[in-house]
Homo-oligomer: A and B are copies of this chain.
Amino acid sequence: MLHARAFQPTSVSLLIRDGLVVTMDTPRTVVNPGAVAVQGDRIVAVGPVDAITRAYTAADTIDAADQVVMPGLINTHTHAAMVLYRGLADDLALMEWLQKYIFPAEARTVSASMVEIGTRLAALEMIRSGTTTFVDMYYFEEEAAKAAKSAGLRGVLGETIIGFPVPDAKTPKEALARAETFIKMFRGDPLIVPAVAPHALYTNDAATLQAARALADRYQVPLLIHLAETQDEVAIAREKHRRSPVGYLDSIGFWGPRTLAAHAVHVPEADIPVLKRHGIGISHNPESNMKLASGTAPVPRYLQAGIAVGLGTDGAASNNDLDMFEAMRQAAFLHKLATGDPRVISAPVALEMATMGGARALGMDREIGSLEPGKRADLIVVSMASPRQTPMYDPVSHLVYATRGDDVTTTIVNGRVLMRDRKVLSLNEREVLNAARAFAGKVKEAVR
């Protein structure tokens, strides 16, 4: 209780009030009815609605009554612009899919403009489904960065480095130079964290992988890589290097700080301590791993070992959407099935992976992933009113097992309201969709 004395409430920029606030702080505090006070790009207070509204007045107020207020979701692995290839070809063997569809489409249609159009569409989809931070690996990443910034999304964006000619670089050397330019361009940006993204161990030689590590260290930026996604990758590592993927990358000194490994499906027990020792974060992509028949990552083991695990959707060419609520549900379903134990990856664990787990895997857990004073104001408001969500006994169960991205009503990043009551404010939705539809015509031509 506050004392009943003369009292001047503090003025803040934004109040989100009357919601059921799922903070995802360490004791997993839930406040109902609760409120969040935001000043500029930061959260200044979280608590019971009475206390917060007594202590703060705001220029703008969002009514979250009967809704859940929670941290924005962190999509730790995607290739955003690939939304333009979603559903282009499905249900094919990996090599046929790549060689007949994805590679020709990419060779003929990836350009700066494609990345701009695609990332804007992806941003629209992410804002509408409650993702506030996304981790991206693609080409022309400066266009992805510009699109993310203008849409208002937080992005950890890695310029792809790969050992064959691609639309934005003829050689890995050129790609490394582009990556360095990209880092210099966006270092210190309030929304964009530039990163270095060597594609994988089987598409880059040791020298390139080591140069990528050195570049990341030089600028203290994250390093992103695909790891042990398929059995084929394991076979290549065995044949060429006589080691496991984790072991090979260890042997060339690739592992180091702020490293995020996507997939990590085929990792033997013996390699788990190696990942742990180097503080590697894992991006788990259950939908992509199922749809492409890649396999089941040993996520329960990673968690037991204390490795930070976030969730990702992967690119929409392989999933086929960017809905992190689906990723949460799928993670829970997949590991229950794989272990034969329905207790594995409970709803709270799935929700943690999509928020604080992702933040930790990125080394950004002091800035994002929970609703706590001092953190960035990245949060979402989620409706719980649909028949599908009725009745509600446990909001966390419903967030994982009965909620869709489309239930998100309001998305806020860095204190800026990007979507309010399902209306996206930071993008012209019709324009974004029309540009994407027009571009799809070129893609159809390319794979004809």
Q: Does A13 contact B (CB under 8 A)?
A: no
Known interface pairs A87-B402, A346-B90; A336-B291 also in contact (CB < 8 Å): yes
Q: Is A35 an interface residue (CB 8 A)?
A: no
Given the contacts A337-B296, A406-B406, A91 and B393 also touching, CB distance less than 8 Å: no
A340 near B387 with CB under 8 A, answer no
Chain B residue with minimal CB distance to A125? B387
CA distance A121 to B389 in the complex (A): 11
Task: Select from chain B the residue with minimum beta-carbon distance to A424.
Answer: B387
A290 — which chain B residues lie within 8 A by C-beta? 333-334, 336-337
- Known pairs A91-B346, A293-B337, A343-B91; A320 contacts B390 (CB<8 A): no
A290 to chain B, nearest CB (A): 4
Q: A125 contacts which chain B residues (CB < 8 A)?
A: 387-388
In the assembly, what is the distance between CA of A393 and CA of B406, in Å?
A: 22
Pair A429/B388 contact, Cβ less than 8 Å: no
Closest CB in chain B relative to A447 CB, distance in Å? 9
By the criterion CB–CB under 8 Å, are A342 and B388 in contact? Answer: no
Q: Given A333-B330, A404-B404, A436–B388 Cβ distance below 8 Å?
A: no
Whether A93 and B343, one on each chain, are in contact in the complex, defined by CB atoms closer than 8 angstroms, is: yes
Within 8 A of B (CB), among A60-99: 83-84, 86-94, 97
Verify A320–B91 contact, CB threshold 8 A.
no
Q: Does A303 contact B (CB under 8 A)?
A: no
In the complex, are the beta carbons of B87 and A401 less than 8 A apart?
yes
Smallest beta-carbon distance A438→chain B, Å: 9
A437 & B390 in contact (Cβ 8 Å cutoff): yes
Q: Which residues of B contact A88 (CB under 8 A)?
A: 393-394
Q: Which of B129, B320, B344 is close to A397, meaning CB atoms less than 8 Å apart?
A: B320
Count class of interface residues, chain A: 35 or more
Contact A404 B401 (CB under 8 A): no
A141 within 8 A of B: no
**Closest chain B CB from A298 CB (angstroms):** 14
A window 138-154: CB within 8 A of B: none
Q: Using A287-B333, A336-B293, A347-B91 as known contacts, say yes or no to A129 and B388 having CB atoms under 8 A apart.
A: yes
For A292, the closest partner residue in chain B by CB is B342
Cβ-based interface call for A398 (8 A): yes
Residues in B neighbouring A323, C-beta threshold 8 A? 388
Identify which of A291, A393, A440, A443 gathers the most chain B CB atoms within 10 Å of its CB. A393
A360 interface residue (CB < 8 Å to B): no
Q: Mark A residues whose CB is within 8 Å of B.
A: 83-84, 86-94, 97, 121, 124-125, 128-129, 287, 289-293, 295-296, 319-323, 330, 332-334, 336-337, 339-344, 346-347, 385-388, 390-394, 397-398, 401-402, 404-406, 429, 432-433, 436-437, 439-440, 443-444
A-B contact pairs, 10 of them (CB 8 A): A86-B391, A86-B402, A87-B397, A87-B398, A91-B342, A93-B343, A290-B333, A293-B344, A320-B397, A330-B333
